Amino acid sequence: MPLIIGHRGAPGYLPEHSRISYQRAVRAGVDAVEPDVVPAKDGVLVVRHENEIGATTDVADRPEFAARRTAKTVDGRMLTGWFAEDFTWAELRTLRCRERIPALRPDSAGHDDAEPVLRLREVLDLAREGGVGVVLEIKHAAFFARSGFDMAELVRAELDEAGWADAADTLVIESFEPLVLARLREGGIRCPLVQLVEAEGAPWDLRARDGGEAASYASMRTPAGLDALAGAVEGVSLDKALILDADGRGRARGPAPVVREAQDRGLRVFTWTCRPENAFLLPEFRGLGGDAARGDYRGEWAVLRAAGVDGVFVDHPDLGVEFFRGGGPNS
């Protein structure tokens, strides 16, 4: 039975990374919650999916911060908006959370501006109080390094201060960038480390270091790549598309063998992200009612369950608990 991880809390129902979102995930019975972390200007680790915060907070409506709007290139993408690293924590804590995709999740958007932005310490405390684990994702480490932030050291220091440094049974740290994971291990972090793997492209820290010779995510899924990962980390977290392995007509051919191949090397395998709305399902599992309606998510999730993954990230924790712990064909 896989671990069920509340992806940014319970963002299928409430604005992601808000306290009420995490609390709902805990009440639903998840095994862990997943905060993404980016730094504030003064080095405080803030819980946001991206450092551009215009889409997930009320910062655009705050006249005192209008002059902070700017443009930056983050991992190859030109973004215009407001960025966490340009604000102190004292300023960020005055902002309020908003639903990231209100057209798909209008009920969640009904809770906009009700909850303040959180720092990592608050989520760690909330998880400990709720008796659940934490899967911590480090965002954009190479980008932040160029801006003077050592994400590995910031995370290590925060975990030490919060009393989580030795929480090997309840804490996992993951990133798309392998170099920050290596620095964590070198710095004495003992919890499991997990390499996030996208369907395409290459890690941005390796691109910065190696240019066109950078190892791709596809190379990580080869026998040699999995051997190398098994010597560096304890797990891999795969885009669900890699496990579903859709054909040209959007029909699942999976489970793909990469799950078993990784597990045979002693790696735990996680997958992201289980969402029930049509917009996020393979074409064969979509139903009527448009992108925001729920399709045959059980059919898609059944492929992931059949793969024998060790953990799943879910946006609707109650649905994830019901399906992945229920065990029956229609659960």
pLDDT at 331 over 60: no
Q: What share of the chain is helix, strand, coil (3-state, %, to 5)?
A: 40, 20, 40
pLDDT digits (tens, 9 = 90+) for 196-252: 999 999 999 999 999 999 999 999 999 999 999 999 999 999 999 999 999 999 999
Paired strand residues for 125: none
pLDDT digits (tens, 9 = 90+) for 154-183: 999 999 999 998 888 999 999 999 999 999
Torsion of CA 54, 60, 62, 65, to 10 degrees: 70
Residue 218 resides in a domain: yes
Identify the domain containing residue 316 by its residue range.
Answer: 3-326
In this prediction, residue 273 carries a pLDDT of 98
Residue 331 resides in a domain: no
pLDDT at 184 over 70: yes
pLDDT at 297 over 90: yes
In this prediction, residue 327 carries a pLDDT of 52
Over residues 108-125, mean pLDDT = 98
pLDDT digits (tens, 9 = 90+) for 81-92: 999 999 999 999
Residue 45 resides in a domain: yes
In this prediction, residue 328 carries a pLDDT of 44
CA neighbor of 233 nearest in space, from 185, 166, 169: 185
The total number of structural domains that make up the chain? 1
Q: Sign of dihedral through CA atoms 227, 232, 233, 237?
A: negative
**Cα-flanking dihedrals φ and ψ of residue 252, to 5°?**
-70, 130
pLDDT at 106 over 70: yes
pLDDT digits (tens, 9 = 90+) for 7-55: 999 999 999 999 999 999 999 999 999 999 999 999 999 999 999 999 9
Residue 74 resides in a domain: yes
Residue 59 resides in a domain: yes
Residue 267 resides in a domain: yes
Cα gap 42→88, rounded to integer Å: 6
Alpha-helical segments (H) within the chain? 19-28, 89-92, 106-109, 120-130, 141-146, 151-162, 178-186, 204-210, 217-220, 223-230, 240-244, 258-263, 297-307, 317-326
* Six token digits for residue 235: 């797990």
Indicate which CATH number applies to the domain containing 281.
Answer: 3.20.20.190
Average pLDDT, the chain: 97
Over residues 60-67, mean pLDDT = 98
